[in-house]
């Protein structure tokens, strides 16, 4: 299966269905960001600490696999003169970013592409990379860290959100009944952990494909790419029974020395 093409089409459909992560920022949110009143999410509910952001006024920002008209436009509005590029695999997601940029007169560029292949950009092109929870949609996360390191300038910052891999060990059909039965070995893979019939029955044949990643790949992968980790927090899903027992997400702040 062509995973990139499948997930591109799947997220286009998510836009059509009004997925919460595809709803573009409102004019009121952009106006507030221009006044300095803003926040963005790497994970589901916990805003990124403001002290995790360098001064990006006049800087080059890459929102990596971050389409949907939310984080990119907010950052473009919050930092005067910032040049924001949003890279995403879904044309419809990118259309949401262009919609906000054109509506609000923001300096924002969109690029369709694979988060693990940033060959569209030369080395040391950006001061800041913002990568919300999205690498769950690719089977190998380590190239993402290597490419993010390559395109960042020295002293640049990478902010990344990730799913806790232990979210994937349980039989989801039983979780809703309050039964937490370990079923899947990690790392989980939609294409190999489930049969095609099981996947279609649980999520729908056209749903985005998901893949868990080990902590060695997520945290160790950033370190192996050359990053220095300087910040970390955890977050919880809304309305998720598993979140009563453990964090659903983690977020990291990393520097390119």
**Sign of the CA dihedral with 16 first, then 239, 231, and 229 last:** negative
Domain boundaries, the chain: 3-166+208-255
> What span, in angstroms and rounded, lies between the C-alpha atoms of 208 and 39?
27
Please spell the DSSP secondary structure of 168-232, one letter per residue: GSB-HHHHTTT---B--PSSPBTTTTS-HHHHHHHH-TTSPP-B---HIIIIIHHHHHT-EEEEE
The pair of structure tokens assigned to 169 is: 């060990």
Give CATH superfamily name and number for 3-166+208-255.
Vaccinia Virus protein VP39 (3.40.50.150)
What pLDDT shows up at residue 201?
77
pTM of the full structure: 0.96
Q: For the chain, 257 residues long, give each residue's pLDDT as a single digit of tens.
A: 899 999 999 999 999 999 999 999 999 999 999 999 999 999 999 999 999 999 999 999 999 999 999 999 999 999 999 999 999 999 999 999 999 999 999 999 999 999 999 999 999 999 999 999 999 999 999 999 999 999 999 999 999 999 999 999 999 889 888 899 999 999 999 999 988 888 877 788 789 999 999 999 999 999 999 999 999 999 999 989 999 999 999 999 999 99
> What span, in angstroms and rounded, lies between the C-alpha atoms of 136 and 142?
12
Which contiguous run of DSSP H or E holds residue 161?
strand 152-163
> What span, in angstroms and rounded, lies between the C-alpha atoms of 15 and 22?
5
Residue (of 212, 215, 218, 211) closest to 1 by Cα position: 211
> What span, in angstroms and rounded, lies between the C-alpha atoms of 85 and 67?
10
> What span, in angstroms and rounded, lies between the C-alpha atoms of 124 and 149?
8
The alpha-helical segments, DSSP class H, found in 90-171 are 91-104, 142-151
**Contact present, 165 and 215 (Cβ < 8 Å):** yes
């Amino acid at each position: 299966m062509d995973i990139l093409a499948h997930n591109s089409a799947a997220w286009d459909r998510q836009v059509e269905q009004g997925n919460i992560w595809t709803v573009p920022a409102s004019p009121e949110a952009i106006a507030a960001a221009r006044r300095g009143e803003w926040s963005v999410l790497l994970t589901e509910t916990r805003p990124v600490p403001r002290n995790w952001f360098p001064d990006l006024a006049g800087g080059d920002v890459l929102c990596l696999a971050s389409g949907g008209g939310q984080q990119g436009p907010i950052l473009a509005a919050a930092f005067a003169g910032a040049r924001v590029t949003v890279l995403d695999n879904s044309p419809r997601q990118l259309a949401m970013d262009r919609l906000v940029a054109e509506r609000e007169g923001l300096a924002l560029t969109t690029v369709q592409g694979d988060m693990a292949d940033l060959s569209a950009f030369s080395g040391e092109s950006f001061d800041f990379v913002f990568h919300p929870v999205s690498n769950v949609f690719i089977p190998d996360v380590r190239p993402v860290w290597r490419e993010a390191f390559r395109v960042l300038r020295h002293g640049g910052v990478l902010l990344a959100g990730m799913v806790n891999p232990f979210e994937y060990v349980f039989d989801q059909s039983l979780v809703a009944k309050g039964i937490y039965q370990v079923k899947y070995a990690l790392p989980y893979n939609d294409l190999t952990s489930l049969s095609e019939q099981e996947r279609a029955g649980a999520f729908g044949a056209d749903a985005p494909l998901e893949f868990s990643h080990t902590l060695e790949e997520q945290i160790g992968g950033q370190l192996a790419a050359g990053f220095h980790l300087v910040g970390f927090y955890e977050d919880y899903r809304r309305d998720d029974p598993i979140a009563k027992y453990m964090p659903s997400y983690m977020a990291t702040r990393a520097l390119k020395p």
